[in-house]
C-alpha cells in the first residue's frame, strides 16, 4: 500500500509523475530508446527542457517580463555561492535575512565574497518566527531571503519592497502559493522539495540584473553563460528535468498555482486546527508565521512519544519525525500530498487523545 508520505525532501510527487517517468526510462516517446540513453541535444530532449523552462515562466506569471528559467545542478546549496558570484560587486556588499539553517548557509557563502550585512535574525528563539521591521541598506548589491524555512516551519507572508535586486530561496514553497513573482529578481529552488526528484535546481532570473559585478566568473557558475546556452552549457540532469516537467504539467492541468494554493491552505488549516485543539500537542512556530508547507509540532508530554510513533506508523504514515535541530514532528505537506493524508494524521492525533 502507498504510504502517506510527509517527507521533507526528497518528497512526495504526483503518482502519475512516478508512472510516466518510469515509462520514459523504458521507452521514451515510443522511440525504442530510454530517456536515459538519448542525447541531451536530441530533438526529443530539447523539447522537454524547452517546455519545462516555458512552463515555469508561465506558471509563475512571468511571461514577457524579462525572465529566464534555468535547470542547473549542484542543489540549492550551490546557488548560495552563485548568487554572490553573479550579483556582489568587487568591494560591494550584500544584505541577508537570517531565518534558519538554510538562510545562514547562504550567509556563510556570501561572506567569502564580501561584506555581508545580516539585517535581522530569529536565531535568538531557535528560528521560530520571521523577523519584521528591519531595514535594508539601500546601497547593498542585493537582498536575499528564504521564503519558507523547511526545518523550522516558518514562512514569510510578506516580502520587503526594495530598490535593489531581491533574491529568494524558494526551495520548499515554490509553486505552492500565489505571489507577485515579478517582485523578485532571482528565485531559486532545489527541485526535490516541491517540483521533482533531487538533481536539478530551478533558477529564475530577471536578466537585467546580471553582468554588473566586474568579477571574472568561472563558466559553470556564470548565470549569463547558462542563459546563453539555453540551460545546456553542459549535459543537463535529464531525468530530474523530465520528471520536473511532468510535475509542472500536472500542476497546470490542476489549474496552476491558484488551484493548488487552495488545497494547500485547506491541508494546513486542517492540521493546525488539530494542533491547536488537541491538548496533547503544541505548534513550535509562532502562529502568524506558520508555514503551509512544513508544519512543526511537539507532544506536550514526551512520555507519549512511543505510543504516538507506533500509531502513526501503523496508520501508514511515513517521514513525520522532526529535524534534529527542532525535535518533535514535522509534517511536510508539499503540493502532491492529498488532503486525505492529512485527515489520516489528524485522526491519529485524535485517537491518541482518547487513548492516553
Ligand atoms: C533543502 C533546502 C536547501 C538545500 O537544497 P539542496 O538542493 O540540498 O542543496 C536550501 N534551501 C532550502 C530552503 C531548503 O529547504
Would you state the pLDDT for residue 232?
Answer: 98
Distance between CA 70 and CA 86 in Å, rounded? 15
The closest residue, in CA terms, to atom 3 on ligand 1 is: 76
Tell me the three cell numbers of residue 143: 537582498
Determine how many CB atoms are found less than 10 A away from the CB of residue 64.
Answer: 6
Spell out the residues 6+ positions from residue 252 whose beta carbon is closer than 8 angstroms to its own.
55, 58, 59
- Mean pLDDT confidence for 2-26: 97
The closest residue, in CA terms, to atom 14 on ligand 1 is: 171
Q: Where would I find the H helices in the chain?
A: 15-26, 43-59, 75-87, 101-113, 223-228, 238-254, 256-277, 305-314, 339-355
State the residue for C-alpha cell 487513548. Answer: 355
Q: What is the pLDDT of residues 317-333, one digit of tens each?
A: 999 999 998 899 999 99
193 is catalytic: yes
SS3 content of the chain, % helix, strand, coil (to 5): 45, 15, 40
Would you state the pLDDT for residue 355?
Answer: 95
- Mean pLDDT confidence for 69-93: 97
Catalytic hit among 141, 169, 185, 222: 169
Would you state the pLDDT for residue 31?
Answer: 94
Distance between CA 52 and CA 49 in Å, rounded? 5
Given strand 93-98, what is the order of strands in its sheet? 67-72, 201-206, 186-190, 166-169, 143-146, 93-98, 115-121
294 lines ligand 1 (CB under 6 A): no
Would you state the pLDDT for residue 259?
Answer: 98
Would you state the pLDDT for residue 1?
Answer: 81
- Mean pLDDT confidence for 133-151: 98
**What's the CA-to-centroid distance between 171 and ligand 1, angstroms?**
6
State the residue for C-alpha cell 547558462. Answer: 226
249 is in an annotated binding site: no
169 lines ligand 1 (CB under 6 A): yes
216 is in an annotated binding site: no
**In Å, how far from its chain's centre is CA 276?**
26
Would you state the pLDDT for residue 330?
Answer: 98
- Mean pLDDT confidence for 332-344: 98
State the residue for C-alpha cell 517521514. Answer: 319
Determine how many CB atoms are found less than 10 A away from the CB of residue 260.
Answer: 22
Grouping H, G, I as helix, E, B as strand and the rest as coil, residue 67 is strand
- pTM of this structure: 0.98
Q: What is the pLDDT of residues 275-325, one digit of tens each?
A: 999 999 999 999 999 999 999 999 999 999 999 999 999 999 999 999 998
Q: What is the pLDDT of residues 100-134, one digit of tens each?
A: 999 999 999 999 999 999 999 999 999 999 999 99
Tell me the three cell numbers of residue 69: 528559467
**What's the CA-to-centroid distance between 133 and ligand 1, angstroms?**
26
For the chain, the structural domain boundaries read 15-254, 256-355
- Contact by Cβ (8 Å): 36, 21: no
289 is catalytic: no
Going from the C-alpha of 269 to that of each of 178, 195, 247, 275, 328, the distances in angstroms are 17, 22, 24, 10, 20
pLDDT-derived band at 137, boundaries 50, 70, 90:
very high
Determine how many CB atoms are found less than 10 A away from the CB of residue 245.
Answer: 25
Please provide the average confidence, as pLDDT, over all residues in the chain.
97
pLDDT-derived band at 251, boundaries 50, 70, 90:
very high
Among 3.30.1960.10, 2.60.120.1570, 3.30.565.10, 3.90.1150.10, what is the CATH number of 256-355? 3.90.1150.10
250 is in an annotated binding site: no
Q: What is the pLDDT of residues 196-226, one digit of tens each?
A: 999 999 999 999 999 999 999 999 999 999 9
77 is in an annotated binding site: yes
The closest residue, in CA terms, to atom 11 on ligand 1 is: 102
Question: Of 238, 337, 341, 256, nearest to 15 (Cα)?
Answer: 337
Topology, domain 15-254: 3.40.640
- Contact by Cβ (8 Å): 41, 232: yes
Amino acid at each position: 500500500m502507498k504510504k502517506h508520505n510527509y517527507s521533507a525532501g526528497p518528497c512526495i510527487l504526483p503518482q502519475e509523475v512516478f508512472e510516466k517517468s518510469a515509462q520514459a526510462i523504458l521507452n521514451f516517446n515510443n522511440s525504442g530508446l530510454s530517456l536515459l540513453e538519448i542525447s541531451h541535444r536530441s530533438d526529443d530532449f530539447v523539447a522537454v527542457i524547452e517546455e519545462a523552462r516555458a512552463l515555469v515562466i508561465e506558471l509563475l506569471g512571468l511571461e514577457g517580463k524579462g525572465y529566464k528559467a534555468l535547470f542547473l545542478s549542484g542543489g540549492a546549496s550551490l546557488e548560495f555561492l552563485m548568487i554572490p558570484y553573479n550579483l556582489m560587486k568587487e568591494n560591494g556588499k550584500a544584505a541577508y535575512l537570517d531565518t534558519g539553517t538554510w538562510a545562514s548557509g547562504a550567509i556563510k557563502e556570501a561572506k567569502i565574497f564580501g561584506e555581508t550585512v545580516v539585517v535581522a535574525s530569529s536565531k535568538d528563539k531557535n528560528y521560530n518566527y520571521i523577523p519584521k521591521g528591519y531595514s535594508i541598506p539601500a546601497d547593498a548589491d542585493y537582498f536575499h531571503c528564504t521564503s519558507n524555512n523547511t526545518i523550522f516551519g516558518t514562512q514569510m507572508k510578506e516580502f520587503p519592497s526594495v530598490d535593489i535586486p531581491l533574491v529568494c530561496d524558494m526551495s520548499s514553497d515554490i509553486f505552492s502559493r500565489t505571489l507577485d513573482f515579478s517582485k523578485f529578481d532571482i528565485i531559486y529552488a532545489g527541485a526535490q522539495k516541491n517540483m521533482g526528484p533531487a538533481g536539478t535546481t530551478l533558477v529564475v532570473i530577471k536578466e537585467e540584473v546580471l553582468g554588473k559585478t566586474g568579477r571574472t566568473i568561472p563558466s559553470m557558475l556564470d548565470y549569463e553563460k547558462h542563459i546563453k546556452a539555453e540551460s545546456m552549457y553542459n549535459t543537463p540532469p535529464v531525468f530530474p528535468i523530465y520528471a520536473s516537467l511532468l510535475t509542472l504539467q500536472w500542476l497546470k492541468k490542476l489549474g496552476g498555482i491558484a488551484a493548488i494554493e487552495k488545497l494547500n491552505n485547506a491541508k494546513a488549516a486542517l492540521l493546525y486546527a488539530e494542533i491547536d485543539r488537541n491538548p496533547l500537542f503544541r505548534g513550535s512556530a509562532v502562529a502568524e508565521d506558520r508555514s503551509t508547507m512544513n508544519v512543526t509540532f511537539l507532544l506536550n508530554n514526551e512520555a507519549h512519544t512511543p505510543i504516538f510513533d507506533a500509531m502513526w506508523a501503523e496508520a501508514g504514515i511515513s517521514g513525520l519525525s522532526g529535524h534534529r535541530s527542532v525535535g518533535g514532528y514535522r509534517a511536510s505537506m508539499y503540493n502532491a500530498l492529498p488532503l486525505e493524508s492529512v485527515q489520516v494524521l489528524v485522526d491519529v492525533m485524535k485517537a491518541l487523545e482518547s487513548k492516553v
